[in-house]
Homo-oligomer: A and B are copies of this chain.
Amino acid sequence: MENFSFKNPTDIRFGKDRIDSELRDVITSFGGNVLLVYGGQSVKRSGLYDRVLKALDGLNITELPGIEPNPKIDSVRKGQQLVKDNNIDVILAVGGGSVIDASKVIGSARYYEGDPWDLVLDSGKRMALKQLPLVDILTLSATGSEMNRGSVISNPETHQKFGTGGPNTPAVSFLDPSLTFTVPTRQTAAGSMDIMSHLIEQYFDRSINNDVSKGLIEGLMRSVIKWAPVAIKEPDNYDARANLMWNATMALNGIVGLGDVNNWTVHPMEHELSAYYDITHGVGLGILTPRWLKAVQKDSSTHELLARFAKNVWGITVSDENEAGSEAIKQTYDWISSLGFEMTLPEVGIKDETNFDAMAESAVTTGDLSRNGYIKLTPDDVKAIYRDSMTTENL
C-alpha cells in the first residue's frame, strides 16, 4: 500500500428541506455579500430559486446566472469581475457540478490579478491562492464537486477542457435528494454514468494490496448499479435519489482513491470529445468505458482485477479469469445501455474521424497516459478506442 495524505473539511448537510432552516445561518457566518451562481431556468421553474432568495432575504445578493454544462472560462471571467466589484464574502452555487466547478475557480480568481484561464492551465498557481468560501446546494448527482477541490473548465476557442484544483473544498454542501426529482431522465443517466466512471477510474489501478479502497469502491459500484435504473424509472423515488446523491459525493471526495498510483484514462479521452463536440460528459463516458475495458483486457496482467470486478461487483461466479472479465465488460455495457444512452459516437453526431488524431494526441498528453495509465496508451491506442466507439463491432 502506498503513502497518502487526506484532509477534507467540507460540512455536509444531507437530507430533505434543510436549506429553509439552515442556509441563512451558514451564509451569514461568512458575511453578507453573496454571489449567487446558477445555470439555466430549471432552478426557477422548480421553485428553488425563490426558496433561496427567501432564506437570504436582506443580504446583498449579486447574481451570476447562465453557467453552462461544461462550464466555459468566459463565465468564470464574468464571475471574477463580479466578486471583485461587489466585495463578495461568500459564493453560493446552486446547481450541479458545472455551477460548483465554475464557482470554485471564481473563488480563487478573486485573489488573482490575471486571466483565470491561467489558473486552469496551472493549478499549482490556484493552490497557492486564497479562495472565497463556497456554499453549494446540489441539484444533480454526478461529479462529486460538492466535496472536493477540483473543477473542470472548458475553453471553446482553444478546444481545451482541463481539470484544476484549488486550495479548498466547499465549506458547506447541502445535499437534498428531493431537489433531484425534477432532473430529466437523460441527465439522471449521464450523472449515474459519471459516478460509475469515477469509480472505475479509481478501481482499475496498479497499487498493490490497496484492499480498503477497492472494497469501498465495490460497495459504491453495487449501489449505483442498483439505484440508477430505479431513479430513471421512478424520478421521485427518494431512496434512489438519496443513494445516487451520496454515492456521487463518496465516489469523488478523495477517500476511495487513496493510495492509488495511476492517472485516470477515460476522463481525459472523454474531455476531448466534449471539448471538440460539446457532447454530454456522461454520455461520452458511457460510450468510451466499455471500449477502454476491452483494451484493458488485451493485457493479461489486468485479468486478476477484472475477475475481482466481475465477482464482487457483478456477482459473476465463472472461475476462468478471462471469461469472467469478458462477462463483466458485457454486463457493464448492458447496464450503461439500459440507462437509455446512445452507445456509439455517430449517434451523438460524431460522424467521422477528422479530429481523432489531434484528440488522441491531446488526451495522451493531458492524462500522461503513455507513462501512467492503468494500461499505458499511445496516441494510436487512444485513436483505436475512438474508432472502436464508432460502431458496436468489437464488443
Residues of A at the B interface (CB closer than 8 Å) are 1-16, 18, 177, 208-209, 211-212, 214-220, 222-223, 226-227, 238-239, 242-243, 246-247, 250, 255, 258-259, 312, 317
Contact A212–B3 (Cβ < 8 Å): no
- Between-chain CB contacts (< 8 Å), 8 pairs: A1-B177, A1-B242, A2-B15, A3-B14, A3-B15, A5-B11, A5-B13, A317-B317
Of B10, B11, B215, which is within 8 A of A223 by CB? B215
Q: Which residue of B lies closest to A226 (CB)?
A: B211
Contact A255–B255 (Cβ < 8 Å): yes
* A214 to B2 CA separation, bound complex (whole angstroms): 26
Contact B15–A11 (Cβ < 8 Å): no
Chain B residues closer than 8 Å to A217, beta-carbon distance? 219
CB distance from A242 to the nearest CB of B (A): 4
Q: Which residue of B lies closest to A222 (CB)?
A: B215
* A256 to B18 CA separation, bound complex (whole angstroms): 22
Contact A12–B1 (Cβ < 8 Å): no
Contact B4–A212 (Cβ < 8 Å): no
CB distance from A56 to the nearest CB of B (A): 21
Q: Which residue of B lies closest to A12 (CB)?
A: B6
CB distance from A179 to the nearest CB of B (A): 14
Q: Which residue of B lies closest to A217 (CB)?
A: B219
Contact B223–A212 (Cβ < 8 Å): yes
Contact A239–B1 (Cβ < 8 Å): yes
* A8 to B9 CA separation, bound complex (whole angstroms): 6
Chain B residues closer than 8 Å to A18, beta-carbon distance? 3
Contact A212–B14 (Cβ < 8 Å): no
* A208 to B250 CA separation, bound complex (whole angstroms): 19
Q: Which residue of B lies closest to A215 (CB)?
A: B219
Contact B219–A212 (Cβ < 8 Å): yes
Contact A239–B14 (Cβ < 8 Å): no
Contact B9–A14 (Cβ < 8 Å): no
Q: From A208, A209, A219, name the one whose CB has the most chain B CB atoms within 10 angstroms.
A: A219
Chain B residues closer than 8 Å to A247, beta-carbon distance? 212
Contact B3–A11 (Cβ < 8 Å): no
Chain B residues closer than 8 Å to A7, beta-carbon distance? 9-12
Chain B residues closer than 8 Å to A211, beta-carbon distance? 222-223, 226-227, 243
* A208 to B242 CA separation, bound complex (whole angstroms): 11
Chain B residues closer than 8 Å to A243, beta-carbon distance? 1, 209, 211-212
Chain B residues closer than 8 Å to A16, beta-carbon distance? 3
* A330 to B259 CA separation, bound complex (whole angstroms): 34
* A11 to B8 CA separation, bound complex (whole angstroms): 8
* A219 to B255 CA separation, bound complex (whole angstroms): 13
Chain B residues closer than 8 Å to A5, beta-carbon distance? 11-14
Q: From A10, A11, A13, A215, name the one whose CB has the most chain B CB atoms within 10 angstroms.
A: A215
CB distance from A21 to the nearest CB of B (A): 12
* A243 to B207 CA separation, bound complex (whole angstroms): 13
Contact A209–B239 (Cβ < 8 Å): yes
* A317 to B218 CA separation, bound complex (whole angstroms): 18
Known: A218-B219, A255-B255. 17 other contacts (CB 8 A): A1-B246, A3-B15, A3-B16, A5-B12, A5-B13, A6-B12, A7-B12, A14-B258, A211-B223, A212-B219, A212-B250, A214-B219, A215-B218, A215-B219, A215-B220, A216-B219, A222-B312
Chain B residues closer than 8 Å to A238, beta-carbon distance? 1
CB distance from A148 to the nearest CB of B (A): 14
CB distance from A47 to the nearest CB of B (A): 20
Chain B residues closer than 8 Å to A218, beta-carbon distance? 215, 218-219
* A7 to B12 CA separation, bound complex (whole angstroms): 6
Listed from nearest, the 9 A-B pairs whose CB atoms lie closest are A215-B219, A3-B15, A9-B9, A209-B239, A1-B242, A7-B11, A6-B12, A211-B223, A219-B219
* A215 to B312 CA separation, bound complex (whole angstroms): 11
